[in-house]
């Protein structure tokens, strides 16, 4: 008897793909753009008649594709919140403090027997990744009436628009280097030299706009004429003191000259007469 060989082929989550093709429900991102570090809300949209109001409502997915929420309760209240509406079949999932671990993951919402699974892909939606304080490296100084600036920003998205604000003026900074990390965030560098002729006191800072957010560096101040100004101040003060002393002496002499005629020799009165 001729033996036969059977092959078993396995596909990743084939049931999800088949059910999505005929599913009447869908989930959508409600908070656009997604901002890393802030809460992100997903809404499972369930049309009327697809399931009953008292049937199971559930969220699964995220890192490790696990149960996240069931009928208004979540498995981790510090990370997730689930809201079930009494007046409609749709329900929400809030992902708190959105991070890289939450992105590019599968999420499934289920109502009764209907469910929908999709990837939360960053390249399919708008998102903002603000750089942390350690990701902003700025070196700036003033020398010979020029501002020298070297700025590097890491782990940022989208590309920031940065300006150098100095002495009530603004200059848009041009990038000197830019690269994308993990197809998600950028590392970008700026270099600039600005001449500040005939400006003794110079103040400056960098302001960057990242999508709908912004940040700025600490304000710096440099006094190129500080030493000269200080000498002028001392000389002016000494001159004023000498002038004041001269005026005081002149006033004293004037007062003495005025009183001098009034000072007469004492009269001797003879009481014997």
pTM of the model: 0.72
pLDDT value of residue 25? 95
CATH architecture of 129-223: Sandwich (2.60)
- Domain ranges, ordered by start, for the chain: 14-127, 129-223
φ, ψ (nearest 5 deg) of residue 168: 65, 20
pLDDT value of residue 250? 42
Check if 14-127 and 129-223 are the same fold. Answer: yes
Reading the block at residue 2, the tokens are: 């001729």
pLDDT of 13-44, one tens digit each?
A: 333 433 455 568 999 999 999 999 999 999 99
pLDDT of 239 above 60 = no
Residue carrying the six token digits 């690269």: 179
Residue carrying the six token digits 């560096």: 217
**By the 8 A CB rule, do 142 and 196 touch?**
yes
* Residue closest to 199 by CA, chosen among 237, 231, 167: 167
Summarize the confidence of residues 38-57 as an average pLDDT: 94
One-character DSSP codes across 152-203? EEEEEBS--EEEEEETTEEEEPPEEEEEEETTTEEEEEEEEEEE-TT-SEEE
pLDDT of 117-167, one tens digit each?
A: 999 999 999 999 999 999 999 999 998 889 999 999 999 999 999 999 999
**By the 8 A CB rule, do 193 and 148 touch?**
yes
The percent of residues in the chain predicted with pLDDT above 70, rounded, is 74
Range 14-127 classified under CATH 2.60.40.10: yes
């Amino acid at each position: 008897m001729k033996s036969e060989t059977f092959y078993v082929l396995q596909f990743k989550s084939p049931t999800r793909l088949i059910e999505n093709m005929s599913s009447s429900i869908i989930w959508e991102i409600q908070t656009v753009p997604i901002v890393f570090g802030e809460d992100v809300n997903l809404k499972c949209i369930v049309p009327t008649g697809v399931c009953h109001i008292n049937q199971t409502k559930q969220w699964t997915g995220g890192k490790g594709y696990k149960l996240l929420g069931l009928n208004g309760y979540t498995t981790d209240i510090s990370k997730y919140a689930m809201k079930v509406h009494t007046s409609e079949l749709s329900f929400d999932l809030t992902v708190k403090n959105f991070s890289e671990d939450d992105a590019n993951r599968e999420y499934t919402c289920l109502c009764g027997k209907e469910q929908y699974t999709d990837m939360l892909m960053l390249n399919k939606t708008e998102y903002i990744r603000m750089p942390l304080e350690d990701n902003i490296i700025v070196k700036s100084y003033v020398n010979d009436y020029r501002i020298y600036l070297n700025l590097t920003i890491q782990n940022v998205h989208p590309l920031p628009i940065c300006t150098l604000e100095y002495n009530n003026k603004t200059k848009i900074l041009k990038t000197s280097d830019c690269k994308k990390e993990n197809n998600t965030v950028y590392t970008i560098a700026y270099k600039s030299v600005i001449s500040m002729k005939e400006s003794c006191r110079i103040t400056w800072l960098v302001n960057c706009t990242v999508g709908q957010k912004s940040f700025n560096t600490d304000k710096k101040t440099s006094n190129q004429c500080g030493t000269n100004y200080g000498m002028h101040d001392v000389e002016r003060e000494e001159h004023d003191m000498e002038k004041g002393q001269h005026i005081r002496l002149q006033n004293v002499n004037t007062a003495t000259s005025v009183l001098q005629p009034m000072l007469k020799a004492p009269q001797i009165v003879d009481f014997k007469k």
